[in-house]
Amino acid sequence: MIEPGQRAPGFSLPDEDGNDVSLSDFAGRRLVIAFYPGDFSSVCSDQLGLYQEVLADLEGKGAAIAGISVDSSDSHRAFRERLGVTFPLLADFHPKGEVARAYGTYSEEYGKSARALFLVDEAGVVRWAYESPPLEVPGANLIFDALASLEQAR
């Protein structure tokens, strides 16, 4: 997994509507990247639903969030609609897991990403990274603590 202090690997992935979204689209803003194993699992549903609940608070702290999994854009669209998620879900579908590999979260054994969070600052540098134990939802408090630490360091 990439470490804080490293430049975040660039990416351009299709969102749930097939529109390309790039890391550079978030330049000048903080971005929370939430890698998750797959659409429609109960743990991923809980995780992304939780982040939707605190989205306004994240935005109030100057942060955007994007979810990334190896599922297709079509799957993401249906998953977003089911959960009522409004932040982008990006398809690391083909080549499968390329972005997850760049961030060090891809599992060759399982063919999907680990559940991992990265906080990327306004300049595109990873400032915080966290990999969750399997089947555990990384709480929003972890993200807010990382944002607070970033503020204190300035």
Distance between CA 13 and CA 131 in Å, rounded? 21
Contact indicator for 88, 15 with CB cutoff of 8 Å = yes
List of long-range contacts for 100-103, beta carbons under 8 Å, 24+ apart: 100/35, 100/68, 100/70, 102/2, 102/9, 102/11, 103/1, 103/2, 103/8, 103/9, 103/33, 103/35
11 in catalytic set: no
Query: Catalytic: which of 23, 31, 33, 44?
Result: 44
Residues with a catalytic annotation lie at: 44
